[in-house]
Amino acid sequence: MAIALQAWWWGLALLLASRLLDGLDGSVARLTQPTDAGGFLDIALDFVFYAAIPLAFAVAHPATNALPAAALLASFIGTGSSFLAFAALAEKRGLTDTALPGKSFYFLGGLTEATETITVFAAMCIWPENFAVLAYGFAALCAITTGMRVWWGYRRLG
């Protein structure tokens, strides 16, 4: 909401606080007993968060930000669907993720992971006048990530 109201620094503070809490809840879960329900909530709410930020920038300045926000959201559909589709089929086949063994899902990597996404979102809050350039640039990197995941996933499952 803060970003949609053009309260950029509040938006940045809330964005960083939400990611800190997201990281802490994962750490607490790994110290106790992680559950499938917790893993589901974690990934589902992450995707809602990833969609909310570009949408908020589009609401803040529809005339200049709507199209770059739409491009970024479309690229997130590619990264998210390729990630989740592979995770579902990896589970079906009993594949295990040796790189990140404590996670709820098989994490298929790429150029645009959580850290890169949060960094770009933070940059958008710091330099909101550059939202379009940042959104289009990150959308291009997400498209590369989607291509990598599709190619790698197809080869791994083929």
* 102 is a domain residue: yes
Residue 102 in this model has a pLDDT that exceeds 70: no
Domain count of the chain? 1
* pLDDT tens for each residue of 24-41: 877 777 778 778 888 888
Please check whether residue 2 lies inside any domain of the structure.
no
Q: What is the pTM of this model?
A: 0.89
| 43-59 confidence digits (pLDDT tens) | 899 999 999 999 999 99
Could you tell me the CA-to-CA distances from 40 to 26, 45, 53, 139 in Å, in that order? 12, 8, 21, 25
Indicate if the alpha-carbon torsion angle 33, 36, 42, 43 is positive or negative: positive
- Domain containing 80 equals 8-157
Residue 1 lies in a domain: no
Q: State both tokens at 34.
A: 């992680």
Task: Tell whether the torsion through CA atoms of 113, 115, 121 and 124 is positive or negative.
Answer: negative
Q: Is residue 44 part of a domain?
A: yes
User: Does 28 fall in a domain?
Assistant: yes
- Asked, for residue 59, whether it belongs to a domain, the answer is yes
